[in-house]
């Protein structure tokens, strides 16, 4: 998808493009990634982001979000 958009993470325009495409505000999506620079990029545009190091990180985050 990034090749189609012409932008890549962690460029702010990459997160904004996905938000527009999905018609979901950035603050209503959650970004999961194992690379800190991408996490910082997402947070810089107002998107909640989770640094994933283990499957447990994802599990805990999802439980917190729906809890």
Per DSSP, the residues of 21-65 read: HHT--GGGS-EEES-HHHHHHHHHTT--EEE-SSHHHHHHHHHHH
**Closest C-alpha to 48, from 65, 35, 34, 60:** 65
* Domain span holding position 8: 2-66
Question: Tell me, what's the pLDDT at 10?
Answer: 95
Q: How many domains does the chain have?
A: 1
Question: Tell me, what's the pLDDT at 2?
Answer: 61
Question: Tell me, what's the pLDDT at 1?
Answer: 58
Question: Tell me, what's the pLDDT at 6?
Answer: 81
Regions of the chain short of the pLDDT cut 70: 1-3
What CATH number should be reported for the domain holding residue 55?
3.40.50.1000
């Amino acid at each position: 998808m990034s090749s189609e958009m012409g932008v890549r993470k962690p460029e702010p325009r990459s997160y904004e493009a996905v938000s527009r495409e999905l018609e979901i505000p950035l603050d209503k999506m959650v970004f999961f990634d194992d690379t800190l620079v991408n996490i910082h990029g997402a947070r810089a545009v107002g998107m909640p982001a989770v640094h994933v190091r283990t499957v447990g990180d994802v599990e805990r985050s999802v439980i917190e979000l729906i809890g």
